[in-house]
Amino acid sequence: MSPVRWLFAPQADPTPRRTILWWEVRRLPVNLVVGAYGVVCLAIFFWGLSGSGELKPGEDAVEPLALLAAPIMFDVCYTLGWVVEALARRSHPDLPRWLGPLLMALGLAFSLAVVTMPAAFWGGYRCLQIVGGTE
């Protein structure tokens, strides 16, 4: 089974306890994906912002505490994924098996979109400067 198929494979017999296990087994791989993507986006962000001329001397491109808070906030939101699913399954045991994979996909898409925005803006801005010859 491919890693992507495994990541989004629904549980055979979802219960609240199995739901928590399903999410926790996937925590490290998801963190690695988001972390690696975040590092690439951070590099693009720094390249775009530092080369654009918009960053004044003595200014920080990023608040250092934000770099520390981002992974923690991601894990808090990730935990909320299994909390929501486990509570929903406890009150409605007949929920479809694909609820967990759907919540995982939505959370992952949101996280990747949030990480992409600064990189897309500043990377795109810098590329337009280079193409337009306004370096």
Can you give the pLDDT at residue 135? 61
pLDDT tens digits for range 32-67: 999 999 999 999 999 999 999 888 887 878 888 888
Q: Which two tokens stand for residue 6?
A: 């495994």
61 secondary structure, DSSP code: S
* Each residue's pLDDT tens digit, 12-21: 889 999 999 9
Q: How does pLDDT run across 100-133, given as a tens digit for each residue?
A: 999 999 999 999 999 999 999 999 999 999 998 7
Instruction: Determine the residue type at 32.
Output: L
Residue 65, pLDDT score: 87
Residue range 125-135, pLDDT digits in tens: 999 999 987 66
pLDDT confidence of residue 132: 87
**Is residue 31 a contact partner of residue 75, using CB atoms and an 8 Å limit?**
yes
Asked whether 95 and 10 are in contact (CB, 8 A), the reply is no
Residue 97 has pLDDT above 90, yes or no: yes
Cα distance between residue 9 and residue 97, in whole Å = 9
pLDDT in tens, 75-96: 999 999 999 999 999 999 999 9
pLDDT at site 3:
87
- What are the b/e assignments for 92-110, b being 16+ CB within 10 Å? eeeeeeebbbebbeebbee
Spatial contact of 63 and 45, defined as CB atoms under 8 Å apart: no
